[in-house]
Amino acid sequence: MVQEPNGSWGYQVANVTGYQLNWWDQLVNVSGHPVLVSVTYSPFTPPGARFNVTFLEIGLLLGTPWSVSIAPKTGFANTNTSTTDAIVEREPNGTWGYQVNNVSGYQLNWWDRSDKVTGAPITVFVDFSLFKPGGPLYTVTFASVGLPSGATWHVDVRNETGSALTPNPVVFVEYGGFYAFSAGAAGGYNISSPLHFDLTGNVTITVGFVPGNYLVWRETGLGPGLTWSVLLNRTSLPAVGGWVQNDTFNGSNYHFTIPVVQSYPGGPSYVPTPQTATFSLTGTGLTTDVRFVEATTPVTFVLTGLPGGSEYQVRLSNSSQLTALSSLEFNIPNGSYTYDVAAPAGYYPTPSHGTVGVHGGSVVISISILPLGRGPNPPFLSLVLPAATTAVVLVLSGVGMFALLGAIRRRRTGAAL
């Protein structure tokens, strides 16, 4: 629920992933009583077959450039320009908002509409009418409401600008037709009234100003190429460089959240401080400094079998530590890293090296420290003596072996004699 004073208020229902709307921008009129606005979402069907949507213009001189924007202000936005009488888009089934952009010297009675694709090509007719300077001229008087006396304000109509100090009006003389205009004032005011009119005679247009607030979020700590945003009451405000800014009406219970930034899934994460807050606005605005810090995760090496007082060394990525403690902790960002372990003299580690993946949760690596042995047993020789003697297994080497073999030879020779 949003509370607004009397007047015409533009609103936009933001895109929701996986869903679509039959429209994007509309106006709501408040005139002394509550207003119910129904918002209908429909599931977004992943693109399958696509069908021609032909926008066919009528009324432009041959060769005049014109353009159509499909699904403006959404993640599916696309603009196509042509100097012929047709623009062809290919869209899947669904209801798609579109905007025919302004062409100098021509006018339309609308800017935003939608088309529905239901399994077959469709044609959308775009009717331009030449803006004719002939005919009677009318006086258009713009009067401001809500500004303090002596404030500077301005109005822009068809590339023409007029300004005044309140309470003086801004006056134009225009031919009949349908007009859009913009207006503004110094001091952070927002406009609360419609920005268009149909001129069929002399008219006074009331421009309502409401005190606004200039909101700024300033960022530090992010590396190059990383983008961030602020969610203000669930509306996403993308960053422009190192800051996010917005103009907002006075009020209470404003809430913002700043998402964690990650350059790619599983990659390093940057956590903002503050990450969320609730605040009120009274016309003075608000500036918030946001510091991003790269998040780290503990990786702990736990050793068993370590002799007391003996030091060992662990290298994890580009960092090394030497300690005699039975556990050793590193704090590193998400990613994949190599490690190796150097045991004290006379001992060896198992495993001695490896690779560890860090994905936001703590990691424990167990290492066993074992004493070095004498190595493999030396070769042995089994000798089977004559039947009259006892079989003996000897472990011999070098000269002793040759002496024994010689003795056996002599013994056999003597027996034969």
pLDDT at residue 11 in the model: 63
- Tokens representing 264? 């790619």
Query: Which pLDDT belongs to residue 95?
Result: 74
H or E stretch at 399: helix 398-416
Query: What are the structural domains, with CATH classification, of the chain?
Result: 7-121 (2.60.40), 137-210 (2.60.40.1120), 212-294 (2.60.40.10), 297-371 (2.60.40.10)
Residue by residue, DSSP assigns 246-275 as EEEESEEEEEEE-PPEESSTTS-EEEEES-
| Runs of H (alpha helix) within 181-255 | none
* Cβ-Cβ contacts under 8 Å for 302 (sequence gap 6 or more): 326, 327, 364, 365, 366, 367
pLDDT in tens, the chain (417 residues): 666 665 555 566 666 766 666 544 455 555 555 666 767 666 655 556 788 999 988 888 888 899 988 876 555 567 899 999 899 988 877 777 788 888 887 877 555 567 777 788 898 888 887 766 667 889 999 999 988 899 899 998 876 889 999 999 999 998 888 888 888 887 767 788 888 888 999 999 999 988 777 788 999 998 778 889 999 988 888 887 777 777 777 778 899 999 999 878 778 889 999 999 999 887 777 889 999 999 999 999 999 999 988 999 999 999 999 999 999 999 999 889 999 999 999 999 999 999 999 988 899 999 999 999 754 444 443 334 444 443 343 344 444 444 444 444 444 444 444
**Parallel, antiparallel, or unpaired for β 347-350 and 363-371?**
antiparallel
Q: Cα–Cα distance between 180 and 142 in angstroms, integer?
A: 13
Apex CA 32: angle with CA 30 and CA 34, to 5°?
A: 65
User: How much is the pLDDT for 306?
Assistant: 92
Give the pairing of strands 363-371 and 297-304.
Answer: parallel
CA distance 365 to 102: 64
Predicted TM-score (pTM) of the model is 0.43
| pLDDT value at residue 110 | 56
Amino acid at 380: F
DSSP for 101-154? Answer: PP-TTEE-S-SEEEEEESSS-EEEEEE-EE----S-EEEEEEEEESPPTT-EEE
Beta-bridged to residue 69, according to DSSP, are: 79, 99
Picking from 257, 252, 229, 251, the residue whose alpha carbon sits closest to that of residue 241 is 229
Query: What is the C-alpha separation between 154 and 171, in angstroms, rounded?
Result: 10
CA 381/CA 386 separation, integer angstroms: 16
| Rounded CA separation 185/164 (Å) | 10
Q: CA 239: distance to chain centroid?
A: 10
